[in-house]
Amino acid sequence: MLKSRIYSVGAELAENAVLTRDILAEAKLDDVDLVEKSLGIIEVRQAPLNMQPSELAIPAAERALAESGLQYHEIEAVIYCGIERDSPEPATAHIIASALGLTPSICFDVANACHGFTSGMQVPNSFIRSGDIQHVLIVTAELSSKVTHKVTDMFKTGELRQEDIKTHIGAMTVGDAAGGMVLGPAEDGRGIDQIRCASLSRHHALCSYNHNDYGDLSFKMDMGRISAVTLKLVKDLIGPTYHELNWRPEDVDLFIPYQVGERPFLKVLDIVGVQKEKSIATFPKLGNLASATVPVCFDRMKQQGRLLPGSKMLMASSGSGIVASFVGMSL
């Protein structure tokens, strides 16, 4: 059966690096080192408040397109999968495609919280495997620092109290970044072998984020319970994933896990049975990049010269809802 493979990836980070202890100090919280101590996140990247997601996404997409070796007219679909969008209508994918000078026949947004990029990979993977289309640009941008600024103000004004940090600490861990990826048909047996996903939708209320054009925002995240449910999904998924791939843990050459903090990172490594040296940790200096995690980690591994032909790569993604998945591929 025809498979899809990753042709190229590009990433873009917001320029401003901010220490998490400075964020908590500005929020007038007693324990300014809480995020660093509990999650290992030292600093995050923040974009200007007036920046639109498409503005951060376009440079990442341009890098992915340039590296792919394809002509722009060969891109048949553009899929945007960030939490933040330029506006409810039109789809941000159209804005990005227009800015890049692309003329795709298929152009739409996919939304699935931090899991968005993997969901964005699932759709074109099916398109390509069926032979309906050849080349797809997947792109995302996360400007989660807008939530950080709003929640910080809520603590400063007294709308939130010290004890509310338990359900709002997640807002202090997120960073801004974008990523682009070009998928196309595989050659020589390389490519994506499996995308296995599972959801526990009854836990959707554990994380909620909503805002409107008037600046009203609501945010709540029970990180402890989310982590427990997510890890259960990961445990349930990893056995069938390895079985279907015909892999053992020691067969994995490269592992990209989700990056919400040190303890979840280490627990996932333990469940998957992969050594830390085969993985990558971006959370200490970039924070939780939500849906941009996958392309940023992939891009970092590329820059480190670790993406060797024939390597077996495993990706783990998760998001509120709750959803988790594994992607297995041969590079």
Residue 307 pLDDT more than 90?
Answer: yes
Residue 7 pLDDT more than 70?
Answer: yes
- In terms of domains, do 180 and 297 share one? no
> Mean pLDDT throughout 269-289?
97
> Mean pLDDT throughout 296-314?
97
* Three-class SS of the chain: CCCEEEEEEEEEECCEEEEHHHHHHHCCCCCCCHHHHHHCCCEEEECCCCCCHHHHHHHHHHHHHHHHCCCHHHCCEEEECCCCCCCCCCCHHHHHHHHHCCCCCEEEECCCHHHHHHHHHHHHHHHHHHCCCCCEEEEEEECCHHHHHHHHHHHHCCCCCHHHHHHHHHHHCECCEEEEEEEEECCCCCEEEEEEEEECHHHHHHEEEEECCCCCEEEEECHHHHHHHHHHHHHHHHHHHHHHHCCCHHHCCEEECCCCCHHHHHHHHHHHCCCHHHCCCCHHHHCECHHHHHHHHHHHHHHCCCCCCCCEEEEEEEECCCEEEEEEEEC
Residue 56 pLDDT more than 90?
Answer: yes
- In terms of domains, do 148 and 93 share one? yes
Sorting pLDDT into bands at 50, 70 and 90, what band is 233? very high
- In terms of domains, do 166 and 26 share one? yes
Residue 121 pLDDT more than 70?
Answer: yes
Q: How far apart are CA 62 and CA 179, in angstroms?
A: 10
* Helix axes of 262-272 and 223-245: crossing angle, nearest 10 degrees: 30
Residue 189 pLDDT more than 70?
Answer: yes
* pLDDT given at position 3: 94
Residue 102 pLDDT more than 70?
Answer: yes
* pLDDT given at position 219: 72
> Mean pLDDT throughout 233-257?
97
- In terms of domains, do 293 and 172 share one? no
How many domains, in total, are found in the chain? 2
- In terms of domains, do 320 and 305 share one? yes
- In terms of domains, do 98 and 216 share one? no
Residue 118 pLDDT more than 60?
Answer: yes
- In terms of domains, do 79 and 95 share one? yes
Residue type, 132: D
Examine the fold and report which residue of 126, 158, 184 is the final residue of a domain before the chain moves on. Answer: 184
For the chain, give the mean pLDDT. Answer: 94
* pLDDT given at position 186: 93
- In terms of domains, do 132 and 93 share one? yes
* pLDDT given at position 187: 79
Examine the fold and report which residue of 139, 164, 184 is the final residue of a domain before the chain moves on. Answer: 184
Q: Peptide bond before 322: cis, by omega within 30 degrees of 0?
A: yes
From residue 112, how far is each of 44, 133, 213 by CA, in Å?
22, 23, 21
Examine the fold and report which residue of 133, 159, 184 is the final residue of a domain before the chain moves on. Answer: 184
* pLDDT given at position 71: 97
Of 145-154, 216-225, 239-248, 265-274, least confident by mean pLDDT is 216-225
* pLDDT given at position 49: 93
Q: Kindly report the CATH number assigned to the domain that includes residue 325.
A: 3.40.47.10
Tens of pLDDT, residues 206-224: 787 776 555 566 677 777 7
* pLDDT given at position 212: 59
Q: Is the dihedral of CA 251, 253, 254, 257 positive or negative?
A: positive
* pLDDT given at position 224: 79
* pLDDT given at position 211: 67
Q: How far apart are CA 49 and CA 70, in angstroms?
A: 34
> Mean pLDDT throughout 254-260?
95
Structural domain of 318: 188-330
Q: How far apart are CA 212 and CA 142, in angstroms?
A: 17
Residue 289 pLDDT more than 90?
Answer: yes
The proportion of the chain whose per-residue pLDDT surpasses 90, expressed as a percent, equals 85
Residue owning tokens 């993977």: 125
* pLDDT given at position 215: 58
- In terms of domains, do 121 and 157 share one? yes
- In terms of domains, do 18 and 72 share one? yes
Tens of pLDDT, residues 122-170: 999 999 999 999 999 999 999 999 999 999 999 999 999 999 998 899 9
Phi, psi of 238 (to 5 degrees): -65, -40
Q: How far apart are CA 173 and CA 42, in angstroms?
A: 9
- Higher-confidence residue of 42 and 319: namely 42
